[in-house]
Structure 1
């Protein structure tokens, strides 16, 4: 098995893994969502008048619809569908009236789900000089003689990898560095659970390290449930068919880079 994968598994099972990982992924929910005052006044007015069409039209404009319902996304994308489907409108509005304005406001202003916020955290951690190197903008990065990390947007990072490292994969990158004269690229993921979307995230990272003819060392910087020993697919993959790939926790990345 890859030494760094084993080190990550051991770290997760024997040390304060989650406590330490919080430095990389401080998954603190944001404050409540702001609701436009004028829009909310229109909601209140339509609610008082029991005007189903106007009520639904305005509530659909909120960033978060207060009810989980399979038909809401369709209504958001096809505004005219409200007029063509009176039974659906009445059904949804019936639930809204039952909830009441206070509950509608409360649910529509809930904080964003944590797992939708964690994407930028890895890069923020890098920018704190957590790997011992101050990230540099593209021009400075190219001129730097010693170890260096690229500080760039997703688009610039992708363009750099295509131009300088023969990276032709469609997936974006979260990390480009140069240590001991060797380029390293990687995608970072925090896998919070098994199944569904998390499996897709895992597969994205793995497809990046499988990209061919890249002039760099490829790394999948993965954290979360992936290192829990058991029969789950991700653990079986990293200890089985992917056991020789560079798959590791962000918490051992620094040691990996400096030993290159």
Structure 2
């Protein structure tokens, strides 16, 4: 097992956060509260109850099976959530939705065609729905959105609305640079490189992953074939220390609540180390939180001085120190 002394300083500092109330501070970025319950249209509930009641009276009837599955799919469509989890349910939903869209058919008619080819699958899904009970199906529809599915949007909100203030807190008054938040999606593509030439010392790019990737490639003079990580770019910040020294910080963001995904972690580390380009002053990093930090990066291979893996809580510090110290801040 690697020793912490062999890691980059930002990875070491991430582990040190455990002694400073790491999880409580992490709630500032990734809120632990799921929010309000979902609203379920009355007609969705009624359709589920009617189909459920009909199925209980005729469990051997293909018609009743199809009707119950139809009510389940209708709920999935209207509420954008399945009344219960089953590996085959999204497959059937996709087939039915595709057929309904392409042939301009109602959901009921499209399901009839799918059911004629997959009767046993429909039977199993109807049985699984019945086993859970209709009230349990409706209650699941009303449950607040799962927190795990909100991690990405939570980061984007914090990044867009709070990162600027966090950086300003870490920079002393007399040397505080102008910090701007811009969206390349609201600028013409040919204007993207000019953003780094403005008076701002730190530029925080916001927008879709694709827009951030395109802006970074444009500013760095990279070709279309260039990769910026395993799945794109979650953030892009330009740090302009002087007219002659501009740093580009790109990265991917990840949150893990268990020990899964070690193969993905190793891919992330490999990509991050590749993206350390001191000539272009381009640093590609991985921002990761949750179990990796809590477990002190147990199972992570490839961590080293030139591989920057850090917590989101240290992102403002990294940006501020890059502005103040340049390459020295990287701890290489």
Q: What TM-score bracket applies, with the shorter chain setting the length? A: 0.7 to 0.9
Contact 2:276–2:284 (Cα < 8 Å) also in 1: no
- 1:117 is displaced (CA, Å) by 0.9
Contact 1:21–1:251 (Cα < 8 Å) also in 2: yes
Structure 2 counterpart of 1:173, from 209, 220, 233: 233
- 1:98 is displaced (CA, Å) by 4.0
Deviations 1:74-96 (A, max 9, x none): 32233344233444433432343
For residues 8 and 276 of structure 2, the distance between their equivalents in structure 1, rounded to whole angstroms, comes to: 21
Q: How many residues align?
A: 252
For residues 87 and 151 of structure 1, the distance between their equivalents in structure 2, rounded to whole angstroms, comes to: 48
Higher helix share: 2
For residues 205 and 36 of structure 2, the distance between their equivalents in structure 1, rounded to whole angstroms, comes to: 31
Moved more, 148-157 or 26-35: 26-35
Cα root mean square deviation, aligned: 2.7
Deviations 1:116-146 (A, max 9, x none): 1101222221222232244223458432431
Structure 2 counterpart of 1:103, from 136, 144, 157: 136
Q: Which runs of 5 or more structure 1 residues have no equivalent in the other structure?
A: none
Q: Which residue of structure 2 lines up, in the alignment, with residue 39 of structure 1?
A: 44
Contact 2:210–2:233 (Cα < 8 Å) also in 1: no
Between the two structures, name the one with larger relative contact order (CA 8 Å, sep ≥ 6). 1
Q: Which residue of structure 2 lines up, in the alignment, with residue 186 of structure 1?
A: 251
For residues 20 and 273 of structure 2, the distance between their equivalents in structure 1, rounded to whole angstroms, comes to: 30
Structure 2 counterpart of 1:124, from 144, 157, 166: 157
Q: Which residue of structure 1 lines up, in the alignment, with residue 318 of structure 2?
A: 256
Q: Which runs of 5 or more structure 2 residues have no equivalent in the other structure?
A: 1-6, 56-63, 97-112, 169-178, 188-193, 323-332
For residues 114 and 125 of structure 1, the distance between their equivalents in structure 2, rounded to whole angstroms, comes to: 15
Structure 2 counterpart of 1:52, from 65, 72, 85: 65
TM-score normalised by L of structure 2: 0.67
Contact 1:158–1:172 (Cα < 8 Å) also in 2: yes
For residues 276 and 296 of structure 2, the distance between their equivalents in structure 1, rounded to whole angstroms, comes to: 33
Relative to 1, partners in 2 of residues 1:161 and 1:100: Cα closer, same or farther, differing over 3 Å? Answer: same
Relative to 1, partners in 2 of residues 1:39 and 1:207: Cα closer, same or farther, differing over 3 Å? Answer: farther
Q: 3-state SS of the aligned residue for 1:223?
A: strand
Larger Rg: 2
